[in-house]
């Protein structure tokens, strides 16, 4: 039987870039329309490295939402940007604030606004990591090595071997989320590893393989990091996301960049899915014949990992075509959502 409506517990987004200023004002309400809460990434310029900065950023998000007409209630869950110099005290302050829910590792140079990131994780960050392990504060990981000698498609796998395994051997009780996994290797690592480890999976990595970046020409709106991989990896991610294993949960990695900075000689990495994320996931799960597993992936497993209550609100999807706009307003410019101009089979009911 083909469903015509589909209702789930209101989902959360466990990996979201909201940016700041005009960009924040342009994108925040899109996420609030779908999600009750989101883990908000700290890679602003300058990065959010202290609890005081995280609290100020949280207020700017609240202000942006208050200014947006009819944005539903939305709770930003804040994060800190780990640096070589993060003091253990800052972890204690973060925990006490009740507003900071995780600390993000960007290997220096790995991705957008990662210049202030970590150069030597166990060498420089051991005091902060030990404090996090004690406090039960999750470490969120952009899991790619930055060695230019390693092929860009192999950087996630190399990260598992050279960083993730030694990290988790040194700090076995540290809670770790392997963010935006893109390979069968990462899915398998997370499935089989001992201890408190989980992973987020984006809609683009469930729906597309790397051919999408090169279909008839170079397609910058499909370029994100970690870059899309081969079909065998996409299939493994679909298998993981729809498996019912609570270690895998929703994190869009919606990463807005102005149109002109994507369609550029050196285009920014990041797919903007904040407008239509849950519809993209619904499409991916339905294609896999597992729409019944969407709710736990989107609304239960992340909250459980973060030790937060599950949401009580609901979100209804209608089987009505959603044409993805060619572009959307973005401050003084525009932004192009992933798969602009295409049509999805589900859309969120108003």
Ligand X SMILES: NC(=O)N[C@@H](CC(=O)O)C(=O)O
Q: Which residues would be at the binding site for ligand X (CB under 6 A)? A: 17, 43, 111-112, 142, 224-225, 253, 255, 269-270
**Smaller CB distance to Zn ion: residue 92 or 227?**
227
Smallest distance from the beta carbon of 273 to ligand X, in angstroms? 11
How far from 123 is each of 45, 119, 127, 339, CA to CA, in Å?
A: 25, 9, 10, 42
In terms of CB distance, is 176 or 291 closer to ligand X?
Answer: 176
| Residue 104: contacted member of ligand X, Zn ion, none (CB under 5 to 8 Å, by partner type) | none
Which residue, chain included where needed, has tokens 């409506």? 5
Q: At closest approach, how far in Å is the CB of 269 from ligand X?
A: 3
51: left (phi over 0), alpha (psi -120 to 50) or beta: alpha
Q: Which residues make up each annotated binding site for Zn(2+)?
A: 15, 17, 104, 142, 180, 253
Return the number of the residue (190 or 258) whose C-beta is nearest ligand X: 258
State the minimum distance, in angstroms, from the CB of residue 103 to ligand X. Answer: 15
Q: Cα separation of 179 and 199, whole Å?
A: 6
The CB-of-39 to ligand X minimum distance in angstroms stands at 12
Whole-number Å distance between alpha carbons of 14 and 247: 13
Is the sign of the CA dihedral 177, 178, 179, 181 positive or negative? negative
Torsion angle, CA of 185/187/190/192, rounded to 10 degrees? -70
Tokens of residue 324, six digits = 């993805």
Write down the catalytic residue from 161, 253, 304, 326: 253
CA pair distance 138, 52, nearest whole angstrom: 19
Per CB under 5 A, residues contacting Zn ion are: 111, 142, 253
In the structure encoding, which two tokens stand for residue 226, read together? 């970690």
Report which secondary-structure segment, H or E, holds 23. Answer: helix 21-34
Q: Is 253 known to be catalytic? A: yes
DSSP assignments along 295-338, one per residue: HIIIIIHHHHHTT-PPP--EEEEESS-EEPPS-EEETTEEE--T
Binding residues: 15, 17-19, 43, 104, 142, 180, 225, 253, 257, 269
Q: How far is the CB of 155 from ligand X (least distance, A)?
A: 12
Quick one: 13 or 253, whose CB is closer to Zn ion?
253
Which of these, 314, 249, 288, 350, lies nearest to 36 by C-alpha position? 314
Partner interacting with residue 224 (select from Zn ion, ligand X, none; CB below 5-8 Å by kind): ligand X
Give the Cβ contact number of residue 279 at 10 Å: 20
H-run or E-run covering 254:
none
**Which is closer to Zn ion, CB of 9 or CB of 254?**
254
List active site positions: 253
């Amino acid at each position: 039987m083909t469903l015509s409506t589909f209702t789930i517990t209101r989902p959360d987004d466990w990996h979201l870039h909201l940016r700041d200023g005009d960009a924040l004002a342009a994108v925040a309400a899109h996420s609030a329309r779908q999600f009750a809460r989101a883990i908000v990434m700290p890679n602003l310029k300058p990065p959010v490295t202290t609890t005081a900065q995280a609290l100020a950023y949280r207020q700017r998000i609240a202000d942006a939402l208050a200014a947006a007409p009819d944005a539903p209630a939305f709770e930003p869950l804040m994060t800190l940007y780990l640096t070589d110099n993060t003091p253990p005290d800052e972890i204690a302050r973060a925990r006490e604030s009740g507003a900071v829910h995780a600390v993000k590792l960007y290997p220096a140079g790995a991705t957008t606004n990662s210049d202030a990131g970590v150069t030597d994780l166990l060498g420089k960050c051991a005091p902060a990591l030990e404090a996090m392990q004690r406090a039960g504060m999750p470490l969120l990981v952009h899991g790619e090595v930055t060695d230019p000698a390693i092929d860009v498609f192999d950087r996630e796998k190399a990260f598992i071997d050279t960083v993730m395994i030694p990290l988790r051997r040194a700090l076995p009780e540290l809670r770790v989320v392997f963010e935006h996994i893109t390979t069968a290797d990462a899915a398998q690592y997370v499935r089989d590893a001992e201890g408190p480890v989980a992973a987020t999976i984006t809609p683009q990595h469930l729906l597309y393989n790397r051919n999408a970046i090169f279909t008839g020409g170079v397609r910058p709106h499909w370029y994100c990091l970690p870059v899309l991989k081969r079909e065998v990896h996409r299939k493994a991610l679909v298998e993981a996301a729809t498996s019912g294993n609570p270690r895998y949960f929703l994190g869009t990695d919606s990463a807005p960049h102005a149109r002109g900075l994507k369609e550029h000689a050196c285009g920014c990495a990041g797919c903007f899915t904040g407008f239509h994320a849950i519809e993209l996931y619904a499409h991916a799960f339905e294609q896999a014949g597992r729409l019944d597993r969407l709710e736990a992936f989107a609304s239960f497993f992340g909250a459980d990992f973060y030790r937060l209550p599950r949401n009580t609100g609901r979100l209804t999807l209608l089987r009505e075509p959603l044409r993805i706009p060619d572009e959307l307003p973005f401050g003084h410019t525009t932004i192009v959502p992933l798969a602009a101009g295409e049509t999805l089979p589900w859309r969120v009911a108003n």
